[in-house]
Structure 1
Amino acid sequence: MKSRWTSIILSFLLISMSLIGCKADERLQIQETTQAQKPVVLILIDSLMDKPLQEAIRQGRAPALAFLREKGHYFPHVVSSFPTMSVTIDSTLLTGTYADQHHVPGLSWYSEKEKRMVYYGYGPKEAMKIDQPQVLLDAIWQLNQSQLNPQTKTIHEALADQGKDSASINAIVWRGKTEHVLKIPHLIEMAAQLPKELNVTGPKLLSYAAFAQLDPNQKRHTRIWRKYGMNDEFSAQEIAFLIAHDRLPPLTIAYFPENDMEVHRKGPMTIDGIENADKALQTVLDAFGSWDKAIEEVRWIVMGDSAQSAVQDDRQAATIDLRSLLAPYQISPISRPQQASDQIVIAANERMAYVYALDPQLPLSTIAGQLQREPRLDVIARKEGQSIIVTAGGSSRQLTYKPGGPLKDEYGQTWTISGDPNVLNLTVRKKQLTYGKYPDALARLYGAMHSHPGRYVIVTVQPGHELITESSPTHIGGGAHGSLHAVDSLVPLLVTGTDSRPKSLRIVDLREWVLRLVNATE
């Protein structure tokens, strides 16, 4: 067992990045692009939202984003995936599916097969109680090579099948068909007792912080105090390097992570992170010599992944401890493996959680009933046969639904429902179903409910609040996401260089649209 001091060192190294990256095989880094089509650059700004973006532009603190909006098209409300956590959303973006098909349930979840919790990131208090080397392996290897459904093709794999190259820069999900050797940084390798190298498949050009640089001379943004390169400036310099060397592939997906941290700390209306992301975007546009040339030569997509909602300043009012709500049961602690006496495991994802019934004699309806006693809880859902039963905190109302049937929603999906539609704020008129404060609620919730094996209840919390369990991080007075609610689910999309648009304003529909753009000659 590693010493407490080693654990502290490893915690510092891993927490300094949201996810740990890798170094690609240098022999595969750069190849000339021969395709005639205009390349597409998709930049994902974590937790970018419409209102603060509009305010940043109004104050003149986001000139690059203002330029792209003025020269293109702006869609303020695109529906994210669920849970509204980056790892699940990015899996949806790359595969064009919800979690029932791509199989990435959230930032944390319980593997019934392996009898353990899976974490792709964690807070400082959690770090001292969990198996950090396993978190590293899950984040940089298992996620892309195993846990992301191998039968669900990513956009990088689809382009490789067409003989087209692509690039991933600081993205969380990047599986492709080119073999790479990931090299673990020496300090982390020693502290975690991990192998020096891991074999993976990714896009032709794979860049991930200090561990996968395309620009061999980029040093300034990869220091440990700059999160090893998991920052906006590193991402921008990598794109600029490809531009300067005329080596942009048909598609580049780049991730600007830092706005998310600013919003978590300061709340949803902060524009500091947007200003910093805009400066990084200016670096990218400047690489063309002029911004007009940038939009002449490239199709640009800039978007958010999820929104965040404000968390109240008062800790007691803001947080809901699921352990206290489920106190009658034996809850498995995160600091040890599951034991036979454990009845419940809780995987909290900020404003959403999976509550697993390990005890086969414990009905999911009993767990849901226990949770309904808390009026601050929002959506409480469980599977029963082929149907999903949805209730709410502090209420006896109930909605039952399943795919297929006489009702059609605004996305062309069909459903059978019974009970009270108001539980999910649904409106039903003449066999037409429309969504209210839970956009695309039926499909997104169905995706999470079928994302992985196990018996579990899904619970979300009302705006202003956050779910907690043992040692989970909180964002008091700041922002948080994870829920099904619109305040966590609607993100902006800027498109410049094309008049086309996806078939619907949902992240799940962007993959096929991007593939069409990559293959478009006009």
Structure 2
Amino acid sequence: MEKQKVIMVMLDTLMDKALQLALKEETLPALEYFMDHADYYPDVVTPFPAMSVNVEATLLTGEYCDKHHLPALSWYSKQDNRIINYGTHIMELLKMGLSRSVYDVIYRLNNEHLNSDVKTIHEEIHERGKESASINPLVHRGASLNTLTMPPLMRFFLSVDKTVEVRSPSKFVYGSLNKLSPLKKYSHLWNKCGFNNDFSVQEFSHLVKNNEIPAFSFVYLPDHDKNVHKHGPMEIKGIKKMDQQIQTILDSFPTWGDALENNIWILIGDNGQSRITSDRQHASVDLRKVLNPLKITKLRKGVQKDDQIVLGINLRSCYIYSLNIDEVPLTDIVEKLKVDSRIEMIAWKKADWIHVTSGGNEGSLQFKENGNMKDVYNQTWDLAGDYSILDLKVDGNNIEFGEFPDALKRIHSSLYSHKGDFVVTTVKPEHEFIGESTPTHVGGASHGGLHKNDTLIPMIVTGTSTSPDYLRVVDLKDWILSLTNFKV
């Protein structure tokens, strides 16, 4: 029997330890049903920084951000001389100009910023003469043209056109801006205009009930992220709620058995989160203080003549840009960061080498690609210096990773993801960066770092005995494409 339909459901911030606890303490009929029929992979490596657009772009293109060019949720475009922010916090978007920020998200992200030289799963499936579906992820570029329709209330407050044409797969849901079903539930402004779990479930269930499931479906359930941010990494009520929503999807098939018998399912998280200590002063690493007296660009004013640095803060990681490398060398930024022992990793490019150090540490590590040493992902490197900076285990010419999975490639990709002179840095577990209007999660949890807490995600797979070459998000694309032609 052919199984040519692959259904991927991304469960935001699903983590292995919390899932195991939920399976033990809660009644989770849908997830238990999948687990009983599935191969389970608890430790899939997500890209760095572990932020939604980078994760989704890496999954859909099969490339890290050095190739797909979406470096994070917040970054500085040297070409446009401005900060681009796809949605870290409403206050930051308001200060930068909400209309422009919304247009960055709904149009530029997929149609300009995502590298046109790499192909997405949706584009490759279209080239094979098949259809695919995107249900609510931010990254969705495909080969078809679809029209987003801005709600009247949104147009009242924002300077945006009534309609915006975007590239997407043929079956496309982007909140209430583009939907498939005639139902109007869960799509109002107070429901985040349809960017919620119930709306994603409603829209995909519409495809199921109308026998319109395409070769590949990417269904995104975003809601659990806010639960973990508020209550910490072991929060399980959100997992129970997601289970109820997965039950609704399964109920849209004739039987649950039919759902699994005729389709390949991939249920996967997108990033982990690290617990943040409840001591606000200790938890929050304020880069305005750490980098004092350097003049930092203000969000409302944008880049000014006398500004020296720009911050692209992504919760537990940050891109720090020098606007004049002669006036503010990257090493000056590094020396300021090194003073704070809460800072876990500081990395920057110098000639062909990447240099890495950490707060409170006088040692450093240098590495570059295509050397004589090989890591567990068959990637080759030259290494010099203090391996402990990245918790590397080196045996002869073999490299293994400890606290920072796939650290070399993930750091390398972030430093080559976009133009500019910048440092990328992260904080230790229990901490996050703050700046002018950055969201904080004191006493809860946060993500975006290099640490395994932020990096490792679970994956549940039914309907195939195959697996990707390596258990990394970046390796899923080729595997998924092979599954759309898989026969059993």
Q: Secondary structure at the match of 2:292?
A: coil
CA shift, 1:275, in A, is: 1.1
Note the alpha carbon deviations across 1:326-367, whole angstroms, 9 max, x for none: 112111111112112111011110000000000231111111
In the other structure, the counterpart of 1:292 is 257
- For residue 228 of structure 1, the aligned residue among 193, 216, 227 is 193
- Does the CA contact (< 8 Å) of 2:263 and 2:463 recur in 1? yes
1:371 aligns with 2:343: no
1:46 aligns with 2:12: yes
1:283 aligns with 2:248: yes
CA shift, 1:436, in A, is: 0.4
- Does the CA contact (< 8 Å) of 1:124 and 1:473 recur in 2? no
- For residue 511 of structure 1, the aligned residue among 477, 482, 487 is 477
Q: Secondary structure at the match of 2:318?
A: strand
- Does the CA contact (< 8 Å) of 1:57 and 1:63 recur in 2? no
Size of the aligned set, in residue pairs, is 487
1:331 aligns with 2:296: yes
In the other structure, the counterpart of 2:361 is 395
1:239 aligns with 2:231: no
Q: Secondary structure at the match of 1:400?
A: strand
Q: Secondary structure at the match of 1:405?
A: strand
CA shift, 1:209, in A, is: 1.3
In the other structure, the counterpart of 1:13 is none
Note the alpha carbon deviations across 1:255-313, whole angstroms, 9 max, x for none: 00001111011110001111111111101111113211111011100000100111111
1:115 aligns with 2:104: no
1:345 aligns with 2:323: no
> What letter matches 2:97 in structure 1?
D
Query: CA 1:184–1:294 in structure 2 vs 1: closer, same or farther (change >3 Å)?
Result: same
Normalising by the residue count of structure 1, what TM-score does the alignment of the two structures yield? 0.92
> What letter matches 1:299 in structure 2?
I
- For residue 405 of structure 2, the aligned residue among 431, 436, 439 is 439
Q: Secondary structure at the match of 1:209?
A: coil
In the other structure, the counterpart of 2:383 is 417
CA shift, 1:37, in A, is: 4.2
In the other structure, the counterpart of 2:32 is 66
In the other structure, the counterpart of 1:170 is 136
For the residues of structure 2 that align with 1:62 and 1:485, how far apart are their CA atoms?
Answer: 29
In the other structure, the counterpart of 1:188 is 154
- For residue 258 of structure 1, the aligned residue among 199, 203, 223 is 223
> What letter matches 1:74 in structure 2?
Y
- Does the CA contact (< 8 Å) of 1:331 and 1:344 recur in 2? yes
For the residues of structure 2 that align with 1:462 and 1:60, how far apart are their CA atoms?
Answer: 31
In the other structure, the counterpart of 2:62 is 96
1:301 aligns with 2:295: no
In the other structure, the counterpart of 2:461 is 495
1:453 aligns with 2:390: no
In the other structure, the counterpart of 1:472 is 438
In the other structure, the counterpart of 1:311 is 276
- Does the CA contact (< 8 Å) of 1:342 and 1:359 recur in 2? no
> What letter matches 2:216 in structure 1?
L
1:463 aligns with 2:463: no
Note the alpha carbon deviations across 1:183-240, whole angstroms, 9 max, x for none: 1111112211211111111101011111111111x21211222222111111111111
Q: Secondary structure at the match of 2:224?
A: helix
Q: Secondary structure at the match of 2:134?
A: strand
> What letter matches 1:371 in structure 2?
L
For the residues of structure 1 that align with 2:160 and 2:437, how far apart are their CA atoms?
Answer: 25
For the residues of structure 2 that align with 1:375 and 1:47, how far apart are their CA atoms?
Answer: 27
Runs of 4+ in 1 over 4 A off after TM superposition: none
Query: CA 1:396–1:56 in structure 2 vs 1: closer, same or farther (change >3 Å)?
Result: same
Q: What runs of 5+ residues in structure 1 fail to find an aligned partner?
A: 1-34
CA shift, 1:250, in A, is: 0.5
Q: Secondary structure at the match of 1:383?
A: strand
For the residues of structure 2 that align with 1:484 and 1:434, how far apart are their CA atoms?
Answer: 15
> What letter matches 1:305 in structure 2?
D
> What letter matches 2:437 in structure 1?
S
- Does the CA contact (< 8 Å) of 1:37 and 1:250 recur in 2? no
Normalising by the residue count of structure 2, what TM-score does the alignment of the two structures yield? 0.98
